[in-house]
Amino acid sequence: MKFLKWFLIVIVALALLFFTVGKPYLQEQTKKHSPEKVSTYTKNGMDLAVKYSSPFKKGRVIFGELVPYNTIWRTGANEPTTFTTETDIKISGNELPTGTYSIWTKPNAESWVVMFNKEVPEWGVTLLSGGKETTRNPEQDVVTVEVPAEKLASPQESFLIDFEDSDKTYLTLSWDETKVKVPIEN
């Protein structure tokens, strides 16, 4: 009985140590390899921001290999990518109310499915799966759209999420040889 008590005390102490020291240290280390970035857009009556971690290509084939086709991706590295809108907007004609959402994608060679989800989980993937399984709850998706994938003229070394104005306003995601554009309007 005494052994069990000490065993439980040691387990609790190790867990506290991990959550107060180990976890923040690991998060800091991963951001050295995939730095945190923020893209903002404040035009056309919209006030938008995307916060994400930007991994690098490093000679790898990204889509179809590192990021498998037809599989939900947390869309970046480290914590899930977040999209914040200060006004009600439309994504490809679908209503997206004011708020902060996590962005999830399902890349394919010809098109991507892009999901805006009400929940922003802490890490976005399960540790036991080695990062291959997401913690996204599909029942919390607010908007899901499919957009065409474009081939870039030259490979892009780091993952980039930004905003683009051309014929419309777009949220753009590009990395390696691929770019997708998600139409946004107010």
Phi, psi of 135 (to 5 degrees): -105, 15
For residues 147 and 92, the answer to whether their CB atoms sit within 8 Å is yes
Give mean pLDDT, residues 121-144: 77
Percent of the chain with pLDDT strictly greater than 70: 83
Give mean pLDDT, residues 21-26: 53
Q: 159 Cβ partners below 8 Å, 6+ apart? A: 34, 52, 54, 55, 56, 76, 77, 173, 174, 175
Sequence letter at residue 176:
D
DSSP line for 15-58: HHHIIIIIHHHHHHHHHHHS-EEEEEE--TT--EEEEEE--B-T
pLDDT digits (tens, 9 = 90+) for 67-120: 999 999 999 998 899 999 999 999 999 999 999 999 999 999 999 999 999 999
110: its two tokens? 């010809």
For residues 149 and 180, the answer to whether their CB atoms sit within 8 Å is yes
Q: What is the pLDDT of residue 3?
A: 75
| Rounded alpha-carbon distances, angstroms, from residue 94 to 47, 136, 180 | 17, 20, 18
pTM (2 decimals)? Answer: 0.80
CA atoms within 13 A on the CB side of 47: 4
* pLDDT higher at 134 or 86: 86
Is residue 159 pLDDT above 60, yes or no?
yes
- In 3D space, the residue among 158, 148, 183 whose CA is nearest the CA of residue 168 turns out to be 183
Helical (H) or strand (E) element with 163:
strand 141-165
User: Quick count: other Cβ atoms within 10 Å of Cβ 116?
Assistant: 23
